[in-house]
């Protein structure tokens, strides 16, 4: 098996791990407060990364530390909105499709904040995305469910996180930045949780099991495999494979939680999936086009 094929298979596994994180989180917050879960999950993941990030952390200057904290705070808002949506809804598949729209929002956020150019494929994808959201929200009239609104707001903060990090953090060592990306939401989540949420007298062992699965499998292992695979996969393959994550989430939610969707909602998710493919059209097909041109030459 060549390295590229192996990397593609690893990326496929990464999408499965990411989708499983939705279920781990849903089961975990059944036995502990949502923000407390975010705090425990992210602090634990940060501590696992600390031995590898410590040297880089001590080399950060004041400006880099400020940017890293800001990246973490933006991530905190995204995770806060996301976990509240997960807590208030059982339709995880629908939420995963809404959250996947963050990649379409990124160019618009970049345009708004830094005047970046919007790729034409993103503009082509926008009508599909709007139509998909409309079909998810329409029930005889335009009406967002609270969870849908929370998911949509979370996508805005994810897009903001991507754009801010891309524009301000290129010179920050990746391990140190990732550590702060995990530590800040963890600390903020725990502080808010202990001041606003009610904890049970004793957290059940199965709840801790779901938390451990989220930390070790859906966070630590996932990010490690994702980083390795991106270094060895072709850009077009990676772009196409990563689109599959909300599909896995919907399938897992249907199997383990009995989630079902009406034909209208299925069509809405299908249109969002089409929007993702259109938005990544250049990444998916550009390598193949370049290769065919080389063959002709």
Q: Give me the pLDDT at residue 73, please.
A: 96
pLDDT band at 236; cut points 50, 70, 90: low
**Whole-structure pTM value:** 0.86
In b/e form, how buried is each residue of 121-134, taking b as 16+ CB within 10 angstroms? Answer: bbeebbebbebbbe
pLDDT band at 235; cut points 50, 70, 90: low
Q: Give me the pLDDT at residue 47, please.
A: 94
Give the tokens for residue 34: 């949502």
- Does residue 142 sit in helix, strand or coil? strand
- Does residue 243 sit in helix, strand or coil? coil
Please report, in angstroms and rounded to a whole number, the separation of the first and last CA atoms in the chain: 29
Helices (H), the chain: 3-28, 34-58, 62-88, 92-99, 102-114, 120-137, 146-168, 174-196, 205-213, 222-232, 235-242, 245-257, 263-279, 281-296
The string of pLDDT tens digits covering residues 93-131 is 888 998 988 888 988 998 999 888 888 888 888 898 888
Q: In this model, does residue 294 exceed pLDDT 50?
A: no
Task: Return d(Cα 30, Cα 7) in angstroms, integer.
Answer: 35
Mean pLDDT, residues 284-291 taken together: 48
CB 247 within 8 Å of CB 16: no
CB 20 within 8 Å of CB 238: no
pLDDT band at 37; cut points 50, 70, 90: very high
Q: Give me the pLDDT at residue 78, please.
A: 94
In b/e form, how buried is each residue of 196-222, taking b as 16+ CB within 10 angstroms? Answer: eeeeeeebeeebeebbebbbeebbbeb
Q: In this model, does residue 198 exceed pLDDT 60?
A: yes
């Amino acid at each position: 098996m060549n390295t590229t094929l192996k990397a593609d298979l690893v990326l496929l596994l990464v999408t499965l791990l990411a989708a499983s994180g939705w279920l781990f989180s849903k089961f975990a917050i059944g036995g502990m407060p949502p923000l407390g879960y975010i705090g425990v999950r992210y602090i634990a993941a940060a501590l696992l990364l600390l031995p590898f990030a410590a040297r880089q952390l001590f080399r950060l200057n004041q400006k880099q530390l400020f940017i890293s904290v800001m990246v973490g705070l933006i991530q905190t808002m995204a995770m806060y909105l996301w976990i509240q949506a997960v807590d208030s809804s059982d339709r995880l598949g629908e939420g995963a499709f809404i959250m996947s729209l963050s990649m379409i929002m990124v160019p618009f956020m970049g345009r708004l904040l830094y005047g970046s150019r919007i790729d034409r494929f993103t503009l082509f994808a926008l009508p599909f995305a709007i139509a998909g959201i409309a079909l998810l929200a329409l029930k005889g009239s335009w009406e967002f469910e609270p969870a849908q609104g929370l998911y949509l707001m979370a996508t805005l903060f994810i897009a903001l996180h991507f754009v801010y990090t891309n524009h301000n953090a290129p010179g920050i060592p990746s391990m140190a930045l990732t550590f702060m990306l995990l530590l800040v939401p963890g600390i903020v989540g725990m502080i808010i949780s202990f001041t606003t949420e009610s904890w049970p007298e004793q957290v059940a062992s199965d709840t801790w099991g779901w938390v451990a699965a989220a930390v070790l499998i859906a966070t630590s292992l996932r990010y490690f495999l994702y980083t390795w695979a991106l270094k060895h996969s072709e850009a077009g393959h990676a772009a196409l494979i990563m689109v599959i994550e909300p599909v896995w989430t919907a399938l897992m939610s249907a199997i383990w939680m009995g989630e079902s969707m009406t034909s209208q909602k299925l069509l809405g998710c299908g249109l969002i999936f089409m929007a993702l493919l259109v938005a990544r059209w250049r990444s998916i097909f550009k390598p193949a086009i370049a290769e065919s041109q080389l063959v002709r030459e």
